[in-house]
Amino acid sequence: MENKIISSLRQRYATQSFDSTKILTEQQVASIIEAVRLTPTSYGLQLMKVVVVENKEKRKALVGASYGQKQVDEASHLFIICREVKISEALINAYVQNISKTRQIELDQLIGYRDMMVRSILTMPIEQQNHWMEKQVYIALGNLLNVTALLDLDACPMEGFSVDQYIEILDLKSLNLVPIIAVPIGHRHQDDSRSKDKKVRRSISDFMIQID
Ligand SMILES: Cc1cc2nc3c(=O)[nH]c(=O)nc-3n(C[C@H](O)[C@H](O)[C@H](O)COP(=O)(O)O)c2cc1C
């Protein structure tokens, strides 16, 4: 398994050209979503959602909103990891109710935990709250990319898009979501020259510091 993980991470790359004729199976899509859903988050709050865009017209419009990056339309599927637009007491309460139901714990017993989260999170300045949510989106991105590679699928993580235009095209305001990272996923096109590029990474000696 260890070799499978490392060889998958070596063969994955930020795919520039996808083969549109190759479509993900429902099982593959479900596995990717499950990997993102299982991502650990601070307190376990999961202040994020994954949007899967199937609509072809919208996918074409998103290419223009992504500086012409055609992967957004070409790939089999487009996943967008979004954060909540704002952290509210209602979201924290919903999480506490989920704990209560899932673990069969009386709500009364969770009030202290709830109050502690409200105190420590909602007193942060808004920019800090947003940054905090976004840091966790990137943990989810890591999981998504790793699982995609393990499934022998290809992906391109993309920050290169207009957040405002994505919000408008996908009507994300009505869902209270802000798109943070877009990830087209599918199968690489056989002519994608980037697939032959050697990986550029720091050497181990320049990357790892051992303190004895
Ligand atoms: C957060 C993030 C944003 C990125 N945004 C883009 C993007 O908008 N377009 C693109 O082609 N690649 C994008 N990349 C891909 C990186 O350039 C690529 O992962 C990096 O150069 C390492 O190469 P590799 O992934 O092929 O190993 C992004 C990667 C990350 C992690």
Q: Give the Å distance between the CA of 46 and the centre of ligand 1.
A: 24
Locate 9 and state its tokens: 């991470």
Q: Give the Å distance between the CA of 72 and the centre of ligand 1.
A: 14
Q: Give the Å distance between the CA of 11 and the centre of ligand 1.
A: 14
- Local structure of 58: helix, strand or coil: helix
**Ligand 1 atom closest to residue 199's alpha carbon, by position in its atom list:** 27
Q: Give the Å distance between the CA of 15 and the centre of ligand 1.
A: 9
In this prediction, residue 57 carries a pLDDT of 97
Candidate of 69, 134, 158, 196 to mutate for ligand 1, largest count of ligand atoms within 8 Å of Cβ: 158
Give the whole-angstrom CA distance, residue 25 versus residue 205: 41
Which ranges of 38-110 would DSSP assign to H, the alpha helix?
A: 56-64, 71-74, 89-103
DSSP result, 131-197:
HHHHHHHHHHHHHHHHHHHHTT-EE--B--S-HHHHHHHHTGGGGTEEEEEEEEEE-B-TT-GGGGS
In this prediction, residue 180 carries a pLDDT of 98
Inter-CA distances, 54 with 62, 121, 184, 208, Å: 12, 35, 11, 41
In this prediction, residue 66 carries a pLDDT of 98
In this prediction, residue 50 carries a pLDDT of 98
Q: Give the Å distance between the CA of 42 and the centre of ligand 1.
A: 25
In this prediction, residue 122 carries a pLDDT of 98
Which amino acid, 37?
Answer: R
Inter-CA distances, 201 with 10, 23, 142, 154, 198, Å: 11, 31, 17, 19, 9
Q: Give the Å distance between the CA of 98 and the centre of ligand 1.
A: 35
Residue located nearest, by CA, to atom 26 of ligand 1: 13
- Of the CA atoms within 13 Å of residue 167, those in its CB half-sphere come to 15
**Ligand 1 atom closest to residue 194's alpha carbon, by position in its atom list:** 26
Task: Name the strands in the sheet holding 48-53, side by side, starting at the edge strand that comes first in the sequence.
Answer: 48-53, 77-84, 177-186, 154-155
Q: Give the Å distance between the CA of 198 and the centre of ligand 1.
A: 15
- Go through the chain and tell me how many residues it has: 212
In this prediction, residue 32 carries a pLDDT of 98
In this prediction, residue 95 carries a pLDDT of 98
- Of the CA atoms within 13 Å of residue 106, those in its CB half-sphere come to 2
Candidate of 63, 74, 159 to mutate for ligand 1, largest count of ligand atoms within 8 Å of Cβ: 159
With beta carbons less than 8 A apart as the criterion, state whether 122 and 87 touch.
yes
* Structural domains of the chain in order of their starting residue, each with its CATH number: 2-84+132-190 (3.40.109.10)
DSSP state, residue 46: -
In this prediction, residue 209 carries a pLDDT of 97
In this prediction, residue 127 carries a pLDDT of 98
Give average pLDDT by consecutive 10-residue segment, the chain, 212 residues: 90 98 98 98 98 96 98 98 98 98 98 98 98 98 98 98 98 98 98 96 97 96
Locate 80 and state its tokens: 């967008």
In this prediction, residue 48 carries a pLDDT of 98
Model pTM greater than 0.95? Answer: yes
Measured from CB, residues less than 6 Å from any atom of ligand 1 are 13-14, 69, 156-160, 181, 199
